[in-house]
Amino acid sequence: AGHGGKDPGAVSGNIREKDIALRIALKTGAYIEKYLPDVKVCYTRTDDRFVELHKRAKIANEAQADLFISIHCNANKSSKPFGTETYVMGLHKSQANLEVAKKENAAILLEEDYESEYEGYDPNLPENTIIFSLFQNAFLNQSLTMASLVEDQFRERVHRHDRGVKQAGFLVLYRTTMPGILVETGFLTNPSERAFLAGEEGQTFIASAIYRAFKNYKEVQEKLNNRVSNAADLPITDALIIPEKSTPEILFTVQFLSSKTEKPLYSNEFTGIPDLGMYQHQGLFKYTTGEFTTFEEASEHRKTIITKGFSDAFIVAFHFGDRISIEEARKMTANKSKL
């Protein structure tokens, strides 16, 4: 479970990342212990205490663990972003990925003598994150497999918005000597997602999804191990790299409703509206549908939404989660296409 003790992680109102991460971690472990009794679960913390990042890795290494799972909640300066994303250790391929790694790595600033423990690493300097991201990840294939299975479960079982499997430089994964993933279970800065993650049901659904992903991962690895034992002399092939899905710089979406009060995204009022989203702007809760990289795609989607009874639907644009004018967004996308 990420964060803990004097490190609350992301905070939104009275909701703290450290509390949600711990509850989900304990529920996940309980599922594994109950339904996979041959698996020993080792926790980095089981209560509200601060555990240094290097000590988390040490706990896993000394236990000779076969898989490391770090559970977190995401945050953004905008209330619009929502969805899950799962990271493996590697070089970030977008500024957004780098910012997530910097946020999680900033926990070392609460540690004593972190400069010497992490060899001068400063989470505020992006070049430092890039340097240790370049170290060879010997367990990349297994990590990518588990990360993909987690996102599959989130999307198919829990009906969360799948933001993809991504790579970035996380200190807690860098020091582990086994396959590892860092799971961002959702955005506490998105009101609807915050309510889901803060609730008992939401935490249970997320934990169940991680458990099911682990169960599938275990089955895959056991089959692979059996094959390897029978084919030790086969030539070694190049590592399989799964393309990373990342959030585009400019996104167009169709806004179809504004409300002074928050409406849950599972409300009957939204039946038949695909890819729902919600953000807060000028004191109102604003509901959107679809995410598109071009204005033309959003325009076609708007026509569909109008036929569903939302005649006032219109297109809005976001730049890395911040709302901007349509004119500015179209100009930025046009300039980018010329490069």
Phi, psi dihedrals of residue 167, rounded to the nearest 5°: -120, 145
State the CB neighbour count (10 A cutoff) for residue 268: 6
| Two tokens, residue 4 | 């803990």
Instruction: Let me know whether 71 and 132 are in one domain.
Output: yes
Contact 183, 24 (CB under 8 A): no
- For residue 63, the domain's CATH number is 3.40.630.40
**Is 145 contained in some domain?**
yes
Q: Where are the alpha helices (DSSP H) in the chain?
A: 17-35, 53-62, 95-105, 114-117, 126-133, 140-156, 171-174, 191-198, 200-230, 295-307, 326-338
Count of residues for the chain? 339
Confidence band of 208 (pLDDT split at 50, 70, 90): very high
Question: Mean pLDDT over residues 209-230, rounded?
Answer: 81
**Is 269 contained in some domain?**
yes
- For residue 317, the domain's CATH number is 3.30.70.1070
Residue 263 belongs to domain spanning:
250-338
Instruction: Let me know whether 150 and 274 are in one domain.
Output: no
- Which residues 6+ apart lie within 8 Å of 124 measured at CB? 102, 106
Instruction: Let me know whether 154 and 209 are in one domain.
Output: yes
Question: Mean pLDDT over residues 183-202, rounded?
Answer: 94
Question: Mean pLDDT over residues 207-219, rounded?
Answer: 94
Instruction: Let me know whether 146 and 219 are in one domain.
Output: yes
Beta bridge partners of 322: 319
Instruction: Let me know whether 80 and 218 are in one domain.
Output: yes
**Is 161 contained in some domain?**
yes
Instruction: Let me know whether 270 and 326 are in one domain.
Output: yes
**Is 242 contained in some domain?**
no
- Long-range (24+ apart) CB contacts under 8 A made by 267-273 are 272/308, 273/305, 273/308
Instruction: Let me know whether 267 and 313 are in one domain.
Output: yes
- Which residues 6+ apart lie within 8 Å of 315 measured at CB? 252, 253, 254, 255, 295, 298, 299, 302, 326
**Is 241 contained in some domain?**
no
User: Could you tell me if residue 147 is left (phi over 0), alpha (psi between -120 and 50 degrees) or otherwise beta?
Assistant: alpha
**Residue that finishes a domain, picked among 180, 201, 230:** 230
Nearest to 177 by CA among 326, 319, 63: 63
Beta bridge partners of 87: 166, 182
Instruction: Let me know whether 163 and 277 are in one domain.
Output: no
Instruction: Let me know whether 42 and 142 are in one domain.
Output: yes
Confidence band of 110 (pLDDT split at 50, 70, 90): low
Domain count within the chain: 2
Instruction: Compute the C-alpha angle 216/221/222, nearest 5°.
Output: 100
Contact 55, 110 (CB under 8 A): no
What does the DSSP assignment read for 154-172?
HHHTS---EEEEEEE--HH
Instruction: Let me know whether 92 and 168 are in one domain.
Output: yes
Judge whether residue 242 has pLDDT over 60: no
Quick check: helix, strand or coil at residue 299?
Answer: helix
Confidence band of 241 (pLDDT split at 50, 70, 90): very low
Instruction: Let me know whether 79 and 133 are in one domain.
Output: yes
- The per-residue pLDDT for 138 is 65
**Residue that finishes a domain, picked among 198, 230, 262:** 230
Q: Return the residue matching tokens 């423990």.
A: 117
- The per-residue pLDDT for 22 is 96
Average pLDDT across the chain, whole number: 81
**Is 236 contained in some domain?**
no
- Which residues 6+ apart lie within 8 Å of 41 measured at CB? 29, 32, 33
**Residue that finishes a domain, picked among 182, 197, 230:** 230
**Is 39 contained in some domain?**
yes
- Identify the weakest region by mean pLDDT among 175-189, 191-205, 232-246, 255-269: 232-246
**Is 26 contained in some domain?**
yes
**Burial level of 157, CB count in 10 A (0-12/13-18/19+)?**
middle
Judge whether residue 189 has pLDDT over 50: yes
What would you report as the CA-atom Rg of the chain, rounded to the nearest whole angstrom?
Answer: 21
Judge whether residue 32 has pLDDT over 80: yes
Instruction: Let me know whether 26 and 151 are in one domain.
Output: yes
334: Cα separation from own chain's centroid: 30
- The per-residue pLDDT for 271 is 81
pTM: 0.63
Phi, psi dihedrals of residue 259, rounded to the nearest 5°: -145, 145
Question: Mean pLDDT over residues 140-145, rounded?
Answer: 86
